[in-house]
A = this chain, B = another copy of it.
Amino acid sequence: MKKSTTLKNIANQVDVSVSTISRVLNGKSKHYRISEETQQLILNAAKELNYSPNQLARGLRLKRTNTLGYITPDISNPFFSNIAKVVEKYARKLGYSIILCDSEENTDIEANSIQLLIDRKIDGLIISPVGQTVDHLKETYNRNIPIVLIDRFFPDFDLPYVASDNYKGALEATSYLIECGHTRIAYIQGLKNTSPNNERVKGFKDAHRNFGIEFDDSLIVGNSFGEENGYIEMKLLVKRNNKPSAVFAGSNLISLGALKALAEENLKVPDDISMISFDDQPYSRFLATPMTTVSQQGSQIGQLATKILIDLIETNKQFEPKGILLPTTLIKRNSVRIIEDAEITGNGKANSILS
């Protein structure tokens, strides 16, 4: 078994001290006016011995690891795995590695992960928090570890975040549904008391209000961004007496579950029921009924967050408390039935595109 080369090994070969070697290898040759000759000797020996520094020792000494934590509630959700991809890529380009933690939408796991990352001395944290409580996040804050939130944030705790403008997204989508003549619309929500969910519910309600449509609180159902939730709630919705004519699914996974329920009940979109879903996915346009969706800019969100975090780290500011909201896009396809006698008011102010 080959052991790693250390500075000491090089020092033995070339006859200089480890400090000089460290200096040369860290590009400080001119600053210390190290002779061309020793420089070459050292560089050659390092290459020959295939030296590369032990990052544990370096981190311990420097208090800097070039490592970021990324905590996500569900890495298998394409919305988050897309973000993970750009976070990793962008971080890598700037010299950082990523420790990945999946919180499974569980605050306890999330809190443990944060502690674990602190113990591993990450330089910064990117997190899509479960989002229902914030206390455990303050631990990084207390320790001066910069943090940037993705997707979910806390209105009453000032941490930098990058997210979609979920309020507008939901407002626009719901308005579109209403313009198409729907007045009895259900919303299958994600995890309650998280910012995206709160914002979306708010947009959903405000759209009704704008159009002067009363709505039934019992039509806001569910409590998870997962597929199961979509399945269960759709099952229940279609069995109601006064069933909705349209359903707004709060995430891509929810709509998948909802589709499964509809298949079982032999109900067709949009003839039997209209649908619209948050999160556009590559497959959305190829579904049996191409799905009208609210598209989020996942890649931009991830890249921006990473950029902000690394800036924070490298400028030694803990943070500039600011939130960034990226616009969503309503992509109209065929999953919403236009109810004939609807008065299309054109009040939806939708920046929609077709695809």
> Closest approach, in angstroms, between the C-beta of A96 and any C-beta of chain B?
10
Which are the 9 A-B pairs with shortest beta-carbon distances? A81-B81, A100-B100, A1-B144, A76-B85, A56-B60, A2-B142, A283-B283, A55-B119, A56-B59
Contacts of A286 in B (CB 8 A): 256, 259-260, 263, 287-288
Contacts of A142 in B (CB 8 A): 1-2
User: A273-295: contact bitstring with B at CB < 8 Å (1 yes, 0 no)?
Assistant: 00000000111011110100000
> Closest approach, in angstroms, between the C-beta of A322 and any C-beta of chain B?
21
Q: In this assembly, does A267 line the interface, its C-beta being within 8 Å of a C-beta of chain B?
A: no
Contacts of A143 in B (CB 8 A): 1-4
Q: In this assembly, does A265 line the interface, its C-beta being within 8 Å of a C-beta of chain B?
A: no
Q: In this assembly, does A223 line the interface, its C-beta being within 8 Å of a C-beta of chain B?
A: no
> Can you list 25 A-B contacts with CB-CB less than 8 angstroms, sorted by A residue number?
A2-B143, A52-B115, A52-B118, A54-B60, A55-B119, A56-B56, A56-B59, A56-B65, A74-B85, A75-B88, A76-B81, A76-B82, A76-B84, A76-B85, A78-B81, A88-B100, A89-B102, A92-B102, A92-B109, A98-B99, A100-B100, A256-B282, A263-B285, A287-B287, A287-B288
Q: In this assembly, does A227 line the interface, its C-beta being within 8 Å of a C-beta of chain B?
A: yes
User: A39-76: contact bitstring with B at CB < 8 Å (1 yes, 0 no)?
Assistant: 00000000000001111110110000101001000111
Q: Which B-chain residue is minimally distant from A102 (CB atoms)?
A: B88
Q: In this assembly, does A97 line the interface, its C-beta being within 8 Å of a C-beta of chain B?
A: yes
> Closest approach, in angstroms, between the C-beta of A194 and any C-beta of chain B?
20
A120 to B286: give the CA distance in the assembly, Å.
43
Interface residues on A, range: 35 or more
Contacts of A54 in B (CB 8 A): 60, 119, 121
Most chain B beta carbons < 10 A, residue from A55, A56, A98, A116: A56
- Other-chain residue from B59, B81, B88 in contact with A101 (beta carbon distance below 8 A): B88
Q: Which B-chain residue is minimally distant from A84 (CB atoms)?
A: B75
* A55 contacts B102, C-beta separation under 8 Å: no
Q: In this assembly, does A272 line the interface, its C-beta being within 8 Å of a C-beta of chain B?
A: no
Q: In this assembly, does A108 line the interface, its C-beta being within 8 Å of a C-beta of chain B?
A: no
> Closest approach, in angstroms, between the C-beta of A168 and any C-beta of chain B?
26
